[in-house]
DNA sequence: TCGATATTCAAACTACTACTTGAATATCGG
DNA sequence: CCGATATTCAAGTAGTAGTTTGAATATCGA
């Protein structure tokens, strides 16, 4: 007991969890799976990688314990092993946002200039939802809405946004999507503003809302 | 905006934070620094590594943003960049405890058999501290006690435990140390029991107590 | 300024990791 | 059982990480 070899082995095991997220592509995978389970092919498409390479990453992560699989007919569906993985990913992202030099420049390069988008905090959105003076749009793909969304939000994937007609010009709109580094809500807000609506984005996204213990709704509804 | 290269760069930056903890030795370093700042030499001693190698790890971690340094005369003192690093380490450890196959066997191999030690939860210790029917011992080195401890706890490093005299045989003792995988409290409980005391250990340690937002005290006192 | 102490650098070796390509395996619908 | 689809395996390459050794640098106290 207490010898160096045993201690090393224990901490190596802890480190394996970090190693499972210690590559940009694997971080992307966790970010995608935080929205819900996906097949290998879907994940490969989202992270812009070959299927074989994606499969390799997925298996490694599953071996490390952070992912689980389920068979669905001919395809294998991967998912986060538990919600605690999402907590860890959020902690990691927050640490990066706080401490990694240049992360803001990288974020800007990816999401573009956000200064005009006036992000709304969770707390503020919660209050305004209660007051009922805001229309909330979930601009993620419809399957993600169905897997869970903010109660009262309407599902309008960015791709369908043009078809949106039934909104008074004077109602204020808040759009949300996958998280702080997701561009769907940005795109939606820009488009809505061009059409004359008063639109803002939620500062983060659905997973953060859920993680904060705020009420959620599930199903295709609305 | 939104192109693959920018997205890859952003997520690579997130991954760098994970990479900073993706080795057993670096995980040990975070675990040590969660107790308070340390010089390179002290850290090297705690993780049983050469100073040069330790320095190498420390610099890499500082470059990634998870550590900060301070000069103190001839030595460089390293510390966690912020408490959020500790949160991330805790999330990582919890994920490992929940999902990594064989982690319990590795932990047993390191800390020995704990089944007889009857760990006490934070909640329970809090209640019993309020009721005043328990003696709490902080069995970490004295400097760590001084950097922060549970209010009302008495500082008795394991090495000094033999000298402890002034305790009635019928008072119940709860010992705590650095965390769930720290062996000081285990050793203390075993020793106290051999001497006829009713001793148990806190299930985790001081950092978890603090992270849970429970009251803490600072200073050499008592 | 000089010696002692603490830390970092440089070079070298070994081992591992990410990604690609092409083949192999498993399931489903007919 | 067969073909089509989805996923995984195997082998190879290029690049990166962990550790060791010995030298270099920086600060302090005299």
Chains A, B: CB contacts under 8 A, how many? 193
Which residues in chain B (103-162) have CB-CB distances under 8 A to chain A? Answer: 103, 106-107, 109-112
* Residue A66 to chain B, least CA–CA distance (Å): 7
Q: What is the pLDDT of residue A2?
A: 53
Measured in degrees and rounded to the nearest 5, phi and psi for residue B9 equal -65, -45
Answer yes or no: do B17 and A100 touch at CB < 8 A: yes
Task: Report the CATH number of the B113-211 domain.
Answer: 3.40.250.10
A16 touches chain B (CB under 8 A): yes
8-state DSSP, B178? S
Active site residues of B: 177
CA distance A200 to A140: 15
Whole-angstrom distance, CA of residue B200 vs CA of residue B202 = 7
The proportion of chain B whose per-residue pLDDT surpasses 70, expressed as a percent, equals 98
pLDDT surpasses 70 at B12:
yes
Structure confidence at residue B45 as a pLDDT band (50, 70, 90)? very high
Kindly state the average pLDDT of the residues B106-124. 89
> Is A177 noted as a catalytic residue in this protein?
yes
Chain C bases near protein CB atoms (7 A cut-off): 4-10, 17-23, 26-29
Q: Does the C-beta of A74 come within 7 A of strand C?
A: yes
Q: What is the pLDDT of residue B102?
A: 87
Average pLDDT over residues B103-123: 88
Mean pLDDT score across all residues of chain B: 91
Query: What confidence tier does B2 reach under pLDDT thresholds 50, 70, 90?
Result: low
Taking an 8 Å cut-off on Cβ atoms, the answer to whether A11 and B25 are in contact is yes
Question: Up-side HSE of residue A28: CA atoms within 13 Å toward CB?
Answer: 22
The rounded distance, in Å, linking the Cα atoms of A94 and A186 is 20
Token pair of B33, please? 């620094």
What does the pLDDT read at residue B61?
94
Q: Which helix (H) or strand (E) segment is B7 a member of? A: helix B4-20
User: What per-residue confidence (pLDDT) applies to B8?
Assistant: 92
What is the arithmetic mean of pLDDT over B66-84?
92
How confident is the model at residue A5, as a pLDDT? Answer: 83
Nearest to B88 among A25, A64, A91 (CB): A91
Predicted-complex ipTM score: 0.89
CATH number of A4-89: 1.10.10.10
Per-residue pLDDT tens over the stretch B133-191: 899 999 999 989 999 999 999 999 998 988 887 777 788 999 999 999 999 999 999 99
Tens-level pLDDT at each residue, chain A (222 residues): 457 788 999 999 999 999 999 999 999 999 999 999 999 999 999 999 999 999 999 999 999 999 999 998 889 999 999 999 999 999 999 999 999 988 988 998 998 888 888 899 999 999 999 998 899 999 999 989 999 999 999 999 998 988 887 777 788 999 999 999 999 999 999 999 999 899 999 999 999 999 999 999 998 765
Q: Where are the domains of chain A?
A: 4-89, 113-211
**B113 to chain A, closest Cα gap in Å:** 9
CATH of B4-88, one of 1.10.10.10, 2.60.120.10, 3.40.309.10, 1.10.390.10: 1.10.10.10
Q: Answer for the pair B99, A66: CB distance below 8 angstroms, yes or no.
A: yes
Classify residue B142 by burial, with Cβ atoms within 10 Å: 0-12, 13-18, 19+.
middle
Which residues, at least 6 apart from B184, have a Cβ–Cβ distance to it below 8 Å?
B139, B140, B158, B175, B177, B178
Check: CB of residue A186 under 8 Å from CB of residue B1.
no
- In chain D, which nucleotides are within 7 Å of a protein Cβ? 4-10, 17-23, 26-29
Cα–Cα nearest to B207, from B160, B155, B138, B157: B138
């Amino acid at each position: 007991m207490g010898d160096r070899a045993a201690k090393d082995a224990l901490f190596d095991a802890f480190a394996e969890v970090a190693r499972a997220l210690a590559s940009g592509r694997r971080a992307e995978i966790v970010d995608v799976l935080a929205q819900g389970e996906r097949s290998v092919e879907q994940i490969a498409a989202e992270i812009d990688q070959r299927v074989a390479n994606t499969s390799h990453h997925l298996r490694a992560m599953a071996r490390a314990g952070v992912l689980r699989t389920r068979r669905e007919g001919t395809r294998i569906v991967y998912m986060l092993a538990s919600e605690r993985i999402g907590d860890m990913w959020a902690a990691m992202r927050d640490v990066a946002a706080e401490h990694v030099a240049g992360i803001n420049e990288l974020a800007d390069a990816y999401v573009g200039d956000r200064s005009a988008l006036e992000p709304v905090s969770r707390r503020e959105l919660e209050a305004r939802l209660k007051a009922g003076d805001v229309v909330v749009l979930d601009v993620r793909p419809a399957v993600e809405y169905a897997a869970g969304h903010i109660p009262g939000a309407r599902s309008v994937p960015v791709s369908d946004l043009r078809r949106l007609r039934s909104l008074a010009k004077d109602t204020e709109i808040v759009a949300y999507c996958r998280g702080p580094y997701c561009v769907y809500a940005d795109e939606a807000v820009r488009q809505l503003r061009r059409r004359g609506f008063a639109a803002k984005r939620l500062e983060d996204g659905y997973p953060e809302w859920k993680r904060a213990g705020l009420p959620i709704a599930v199903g295709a509804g609305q």
